[in-house]
Homo-oligomer: A and B are copies of this chain.
């Protein structure tokens, strides 16, 4: 299996003038910026699903990839062959982390018992692989959306037996993540929402989801997992509507169940834009609410209405994203997962490398830009000066809760003038950003 990548040499950093498409031009893992290496800053993870599980099918056509490890049956041998291929890829690419769903890595299972057994069998093998590789686990997650049993939801299913199956999956996946040294655990509620509100009790389902999430948090503490729990916002797809729509909505949900100190968010740019927000907005909302966790760094296509999960190639957006991430303190337990899906026509082994090299280089380049922006932080300077009147006088008193509506109104009447407007300077600020894009 590992032979599939034999034609590819380990990917090396060769600098920005290299013409080698299979070399890094910007990602120099040990380069130090702001006191940390690029590797430590970006904490790259390669995802298992799109790279090693997906066969290239889409809703209008069947698989195109012909990966040698995709056999007819997904049994333990197939799972091990896939694992072999995955680590062979990791070893060549040099990514420090990977991520997986339980069902990505294991032999297919139908019953709860099979699930537990098959998952346990492969976790042993993963542990062995990690022990001898430089690639570690960033986070794990349970796939509670692909099996038909989840067609009407996992924890929000009308049938509590499905929620029980989901509990079984999460319990084992969280424990495995803990054992394998992961620093995070993600819940993406692909089916936690509805196809039609006509058959859905929204209040009931949110209660189910709230209680389920609480049980996960309680279990984390029970087993002593020190990593983070993150919810991944997405507005729709596969369902018409998902409860974990965007960061603002997730925050309201967490507050409702008293989980806002326990659970953070795993943000994905294309999920942000599908919800009508831009990527930077979601990062800043998470920073403002103190729930920033991790990123799935995929772009979408603004002309299409679904998630394309492509690797990032927008230098401006990615630079700004890293600027806000760094300003928020950078990644802690989280990292930059590449949930990057090569296109269905990209059928060669090296296309997988192009996708990852392109994305990693872009983030490295964006990181350098962002670090320079922070060093000479003209945006912050402008903002500080723009809001400075709120740090003293009636502004500060209002924020401190020491002014009533009557008192603020009285100040206005007393000054009796129309406040002088000040330019928002958007074009000038945009030019500053452009100049940092190197």
Contact = CB atoms under 8 A, between A and B. Distances in A.
A405 B185 CA distance: 15
Nearest to A148: B64
Given A190-B60, A412-B112, A315 B426 contact: no
A323 to B, nearest CB: 10
Interface in A49-73: 56, 58-64
A218 B431 CA distance: 43
Nearest to A160: B395
Nearest to A376: B19
A320 to B, nearest CB: 8
Contact of A277 (B63, B146, B280, B303): B303
Interface centre among A157, A199, A214, A342 (most CB of B within 10 A): A199
A416 interface: yes
A422 B387 contact: no
Contacts of A212: 398
A216 B405 contact: yes
Nearest to A236: B304
B237 A168 contact: no
Contact of A253 (B203, B238, B252, B433): B252
A366 to B, nearest CB: 11
A422 B199 CA distance: 12
Number of copies: 4
A351 B430 CA distance: 11
A125 interface: no
Given A21-B428, A61-B150, A390-B160, A236 B423 contact: no
A425 interface: yes
Interface stretch (A39-47, A82-90, A241-249): A241-249
Contact of A237 (B195, B201, B289, B304): B304
B274 A204 contact: no
Contacts of A134: none
Contact of A389 (B159, B195, B250, B409): B159
Interface string A154-177: 000111111111011011100000
21 contacts: A59-B59, A60-B237, A149-B418, A152-B422, A158-B389, A160-B390, A161-B389, A161-B412, A165-B412, A167-B405, A218-B405, A222-B404, A237-B306, A240-B303, A240-B304, A241-B277, A241-B278, A252-B289, A302-B302, A346-B425, A362-B434
